[in-house]
Structure 1
Amino acid sequence: MDVTRLSALSDAVMDVAKGEDLKTSLNRLIQNAVLITDCTYGALGSITADGTLEDFTFVGMSDETADEIDTFPEGKGLLGHLLAVPQPLRVSVIGEHPSSVGFPKGHPMMSGFLGVPIRIRDELFGSIYLTQKRNGKSFTEEDENLVVVLASAAGVAIDSYRGHIAQNQVVVLAERERIARDLHDLVIQRLFASGISLHSIVSDPLLSEDVQGKIQSVLDNLDSTVQQIRTTIFALLDQHPIADIRTLIMSEIASLSATAGFQISYSFLGPIDTVIGEDLTKQVIPVIRELITNAIRHAQANAIDLVVLANQTYCEIRVVDDGKGYIPGERKSGLLNLERRALARGGEFEILGNRVSGTRTMWRVSL
């Protein structure tokens, strides 16, 4: 292994360790993997809890080319083989491997393939995929060893990120407990004491019925307030220390805003923290990412507004932009994927032109 490649590998590992947000770190890792192995295309796919391919980030392919692909990777073929057998896989000709299923319509033709799984301790997170080594060459054992090191660095970065999130959640939970204690010890006790004082007054026979009625109304309001505060206390204490969907969405918006070059506005309507479970969260984040990325890249928007709404019946995501507008009948692979996600959960996906300019999109699924 020559000094240049070792130096590039060292730089790539240090790049991952910089502590940037996870999405940026992993994207740069794929870019570095492509450079170090001297190939054309690179990607990183993460998997769901049931072992299917979920998120897919790629480099080396233009947005226009990606939009022409009929379907996004679904974990079939060689990608599926890596999920079933999470060991480094190096193939000179993709079509000659027994697991190969060909390429979807619109997909660029590719020859050589190198796939390396990313592990976080004993957990399989996903894989790095590299294809089409330049000058018609095949990936070498040295290429494989270099990417294995990068995959290890990615595993450490992801594990560190999760630890950081967990630490933040511990701080948040501790703060919630403190607020709950203060509400009980300082607020409820004082309201209770005030209520006792008023009870002793309302029965005074010297008071008129009108005054007694007003005092009783205040007592009723105090009782109602105490019940509401107790409900709030229970809600504060009944928080499972898993990723908060609001935090995840805001983190995603921060990353997308940096890409867009302007602040994306957002709002939440309804009890999204309680009705959107972990399973749906894994759908909501990629949907938001795809809708906003589409508005940034293709609609060339200068303003984007996101609304996430949830009630006991459904979850709805709305995105409004001021871009160049949507051409009816022109749904690219990313948007078709969103439609399939919605239909799979008994929902719907709509794209509408805005009143003046731009586009309104709505993704809704049943709960």
Structure 2
Amino acid sequence: MSEEGDDDGEGHGDRAIRGRGESRGDRDDDATTPRLPTLLEAVLGIGTDLELRATLQHIVDTAAELIGARYGALGVLDPERGGLTELFTAGMSDADRQRTGRLPDGHTGLLGLLIEDPKPLRLDDLTADPRSAGVPPGHPEMHSFLGVPLQLDTTVLGNLYLTEKRTGSFTEQDQSLLRVLASQAALAIGNARLYGTARQRERWIEGAAAVTTALLTGENASDALMTVAESARVLADAYAGVVLQPTEEGGMEIVAASTVGDPAGIVGTTIEPGSPVLVQLLGGEPVFIEDSSTDPRMTTHVRVRFGPSMMLPLQSGGKLIGTLALPRRRGGRPYRAVDRLLATQFASQAALALVLADSQHDREQLAVFEDRDRIARDLHDLVVQRLFATEMMLESTRRRADSAGLDELLGRAVDELDSTIQEVRTTIFTLQQPPADGPTSVRGMVLRETGGAAVVLGFRPSVRFTGPVDTLVGEPEGRGLLAELRGALAAAHRREGVTAIGVEVDAMARLADGRTGVRLVVTDDGLREDGGRGTTMTWEAPR
């Protein structure tokens, strides 16, 4: 085909594509017109298929058929790294694809030229062009070439090219038709990416809201951290979601981990002080890593399992409360810019939710303490004073009583009141203990043992303390006392008919040898082996 014929055909080709129907009787116009229905059908088909991969395959198949090329290809460009991420082909058999092997890199040769200089490119013999390079071994032999960029506004999204036209060389009309299809492909890719980003943003927003709601419903600290790790892992499509918290030594320790597979060895892993990654995290900066297994900044032993990773500071009000790490499997796909942005926003919201949940927990604990303090004050100011006054009245009455029987009766009443006063004081002490904290004092540990025994016995043993137990009883004596108390409570539980157990701890007891020490007395009303009722266990230790 002569250059003059090409020039004539270009004018008629443009008219045909615009649907104007004018004709100057040129043979190129006659050749182009029958292709219009196929082109229009292809464009309409693009609009009805919502699946991007099927759409792009349809475009390259249509381009090869419409223009009469033996081979066709459509490459999609990675918007961040510049290489081709996908390649859709027409005219190549499975055997051809296997021989070709890897994808073109998109940086070299004619494909790279279409990206760097986004203009249509038409060649009669690409093998004679010095810019042709990067053709992999086993690639089918090709000569004629027609390529156009997939361009949306000023952004190049890929390229569409045909080779080996069956009848002669590619023409201007072929180029115009291919540009129409390329513009439709660019529009499909752009719309798909916008839709995908919108859906991704929606999922992250919904996930952040769900995490906030879950944290504010009263989860404990460990469950709250696991909720953040699990939700972030799912949203980021990561292999693991990990939460780290600062250690006293200045490092960071993994305290919660949610993984797709076996999490063995992850929880408890520590980033040592001075690590380059740690310096960034403690400074409130996110860390994005292409390959955790090879990055020199990573120092933990579990890094060999992971590839691309995001490490995001959990901070609120300038205070760093931890780090959220989202590693993918080794060799996994890299995180995109939108992934990093959405994950960073999620981490900020999760950190705020953790702080609010912690504040809410503190307020609830404060309300419990205030209520317990009020109850303790009421017991001390009202109940104990009344009981003590009644005890004094009965004691005075007993001293003036003439009847021996009345004296004994009043004595028992005084003893009962005294025991009740001791138990009320014990209750006041118990109310003053934090609900979730384990006691460290001797008094607190005795109350814990008797409280635990109450679950098995079905009733709570009465406990009475004499003297400043926590001040006078040292650690060795306290361990011995608790061991004897556990044994006595277990023995009482094994006896039949036990309905009451009394525990007395006297820190100022006068021992048999005349020395002062601590005495433990445990009594119960159970049935003994000799048929009698009631058993007493006594343990003493000098101070």
Q: Which TM-score band (shorter chain)?
A: 0.5 to 0.7
Match for 2:232: what amino acid?
A
For 1:164-313, list aligned pairs within 5 A. 164-204=360-400, 206-208=402-404, 211-236=406-431, 238-239=432-433, 244-245=436-437, 271=447, 313=479
Partner SS state of residue 239, structure 2: strand
- Distance 1:10-1:54 versus aligned 2 partners, 3 A rule: same
Alpha-carbon displacement from aligned partner over 1:32-81 (angstroms, at most 9, x marks no partner): 4334444333222234455554553333332xx334x4984222467755
Identify the structure with bigger relative contact order (alpha carbons < 8 Å, sequence gap 6+). Answer: 1
TM-score of the superposition, structure 1-length normalised? Answer: 0.55
Q: 2:210 aligns with which of 15, 21, 26?
A: 15
C-alpha distance in 2 between matches for 1:211 and 1:271: 35
**Could you tell me which residue of structure 2 aligns to residue 61 of structure 1?**
260
Alpha-carbon displacement from aligned partner over 1:187-216 (angstroms, at most 9, x marks no partner): 2233123223212222226233x6435533
- Unaligned ranges ≥5, structure 1: 247-267, 274-310, 316-367
Length, aligned pairs only:
248
Alpha-carbon displacement from aligned partner over 1:287-341 (angstroms, at most 9, x marks no partner): xxxxxxxxxxxxxxxxxxxxxxxx96599xxxxxxxxxxxxxxxxxxxxxxxxxx
Contact 2:270 2:300 in 1 (8 A): no
Alpha-carbon displacement from aligned partner over 1:145-189 (angstroms, at most 9, x marks no partner): 211211111112212211221222122122212322332344223
- Distance 1:42-1:231 versus aligned 2 partners, 3 A rule: closer
Per-residue deviation, 1:94: 2.2
TM-score of the superposition, structure 2-length normalised? Answer: 0.39
- Distance 1:245-1:83 versus aligned 2 partners, 3 A rule: farther
**Could you tell me which residue of structure 2 aligns to residue 34 of structure 1?**
233
**Could you tell me which residue of structure 1 aligns to residue 347 of structure 2?**
151
C-alpha distance in 1 between matches for 2:284 and 2:332: 26
Query: Do residues 101 (structure 1) and 296 (structure 2) align?
Result: no
Contact 1:44 1:58 in 2 (8 A): yes
Contact 2:307 2:331 in 1 (8 A): no
Per-residue deviation, 1:128: 0.9
Contact 1:75 1:83 in 2 (8 A): no
Partner SS state of residue 375, structure 2: helix
C-alpha distance in 2 between matches for 1:198 and 1:37: 75
Contact 1:38 1:133 in 2 (8 A): no
Partner SS state of residue 201, structure 1: helix
Q: 1:89 aligns with which of 270, 284, 287?
A: 287
C-alpha distance in 2 between matches for 1:72 and 1:52: 12
Partner SS state of residue 46, structure 1: strand
Query: Do residues 46 (structure 1) and 46 (structure 2) align?
Result: no
Larger radius of gyration: 2
Contact 2:241 2:327 in 1 (8 A): yes
C-alpha distance in 2 between matches for 1:32 and 1:70: 18
Partner SS state of residue 203, structure 1: helix
Contact 1:95 1:102 in 2 (8 A): no
- Distance 1:218-1:84 versus aligned 2 partners, 3 A rule: same
Partner SS state of residue 326, structure 2: strand
Contact 2:211 2:350 in 1 (8 A): yes
Per-residue deviation, 1:272: 5.7
Per-residue deviation, 1:129: 0.7
- Distance 1:189-1:15 versus aligned 2 partners, 3 A rule: same
**Could you tell me which residue of structure 1 aligns to residue 535 of structure 2?**
none
Determine what percentage of the aligned residue pairs are the same residue. 23
Partner SS state of residue 98, structure 1: coil
- Distance 1:221-1:51 versus aligned 2 partners, 3 A rule: farther
C-alpha distance in 2 between matches for 1:96 and 1:7: 33
C-alpha distance in 2 between matches for 1:312 and 1:84: 43
**Could you tell me which residue of structure 1 aligns to residue 201 of structure 2?**
6
Per-residue deviation, 1:11: 1.1
- Unaligned ranges ≥5, structure 2: 1-193, 439-443, 450-476, 483-543
Partner SS state of residue 230, structure 1: helix
